[in-house]
Amino acid sequence: MKSTRREFLKQALGVCAGAGLLSRLPERAFGKEKPWPDLVAVKGASPVQLFEAGIRALGGMGRFVKKGQAVLVKPNIGWSKTPSEAACTNPDLVAKVVAQALRAGAKDVFVFDHSVNVEKECYERSGIEAAVRAAGGKMRSAEKESSYRKVKIPGGKVLAEALVHELYLDCDVVINVPILKNHGGGRMTGCMKNLMGVVWDRRFYHRNGLMECIAEFPLVRKPDLNILDAYLVMTKNGPRGLSTEDLALKKMQLLSADLVLADTAATKVLDMEPGQVPYLKMAADLKLGSMDMDKAKIERVSLGS
């Protein structure tokens, strides 16, 4: 058989591509699932670099987002504050999460938060709206009650039912992207407290038991992935903050599928003990996640010098 140079090149290219593909096939395809870490803690670079390294250590975005899925990315956009004030999630980080979800094959990536301040001001000043749009994500409003659906919280004692944003209920994948802050009422805001922003009536929480409601809400659905932004951290006067003097540069990020575990680790970033944040123990008792840092497989990644 005569083979031309062109054909040879084509075949060679095919073999190379095939080999490349094989080598990238995850081991779990052969039944030997690599035990991914329960928690990845990354330190020492920009929020975007931290995320890229962190998600790689966690198995890549493809572990969480499959082709054709609808994805919700839920940052903290609660306040009409600029990125340098660190009251909202870092906009570059949010955009990167959106971009990676799209690259993993997501059909749509939606972003919203039920802001405390006026939504338009929050979306603009936080820089998140512009960043998400540029990354190809879709900003959605959460200021109309009609976007929320009443659902039972299975096993919820204080929070038996709630009006929950339809995107949180309907999207195939939920990626929770909070920012870590000190919090007067909740003691700390991170992964669990951030989910208050998918609920219509936050006053119900305050009125009937803030800690219990925060702990019980994930019973309806847990996020598939939590990316806790702890780059610039509000260590006092949270959640709003009075000035940049309230901030400490920690250059850290915590990634986990377990929101209780990520929050438990986060208490340490704020120089607190997990026991000081009552909703963590409540959530662990509800089997929503683990507070056991010793048992957890934690991968620590240090970037930069």
Partner 1 sequence: MNKRSLLWIRPLVQALFLALSLAVFFGLIQGRPWAALYRSIHLFPSLSHLGWVSLWPFWGVTLLFLFLPLLAGRLYCSWLCPAGFLQDALARIRTRRTNASTPFPLRVFLLFLCVGSLAFGYAAYELLDHFTNLGRLYGIASVPFGRDTALALLFLGCLGAALRRPRWFCNTLCPTGTLSAALQSRAAIRLSISSSCGDCGLCRSLCPADCIRGDSIDHTRCIHCFECWAHCPKGAVRFRPDRPSPKGRAAFLKTASGAVLGLALGPALAKKVLGGEPDAVIPPGGKSVEVFRERCASCLSCVSVCPTKVLTADRRGNVLLDFSRGYCSFDCDACLCSCPTGAISRFPLEAKKRIKIGTSDIDRTLCIPYSKGRDCAACHEVCPVGAVRLQKLGEVSAPIVDPEYCIGCGACQFACPVEPKKAITVTPAKVHGVAFSRNIGSAGSGFPF
Q: Is residue 84 within the footprint of partner 1 (CB under 8 A)?
A: no
Q: Is residue 251 within the footprint of partner 1 (CB under 8 A)?
A: no
Q: Is residue 242 within the footprint of partner 1 (CB under 8 A)?
A: yes
Least distance CB 31 / partner 1 (angstroms): 48
Burial degree of 169 (CB within 10 A; 0-12, 13-18, 19+): middle
CA distance 115 to 152: 23
Q: Is residue 211 within the footprint of partner 1 (CB under 8 A)?
A: yes
Q: Is residue 240 within the footprint of partner 1 (CB under 8 A)?
A: yes
Question: From the list 46, 69, 147, 237, which residue makes contact with partner 1 (rule: CB under 8 A)?
Answer: 237
Q: Is residue 183 within the footprint of partner 1 (CB under 8 A)?
A: yes
In the bound state with partner 1, the residue whose beta carbon lies nearer, of 107 and 120, is 120
In the bound state with partner 1, the residue whose beta carbon lies nearer, of 82 and 290, is 82
Go through 33-59 and write b for each residue having 16 or more CB atoms within 10 A of its CB, e for each that does not: eeebbbbbbbbebbbbbbbbbbbebbb
In the bound state with partner 1, the residue whose beta carbon lies nearer, of 173 and 232, is 232
Nearest to 197 by CA among 83, 283, 87: 87
Q: Is residue 157 within the footprint of partner 1 (CB under 8 A)?
A: no
Least distance CB 245 / partner 1 (angstroms): 6
- Compute how many residues bind partner 1; rule: CB under 8 A: 27
**Chain residues in the site for partner 1 (CB under 8 A):** 80, 116-118, 120-121, 125, 183-186, 202-207, 209-211, 237, 239-240, 242-243, 245, 278
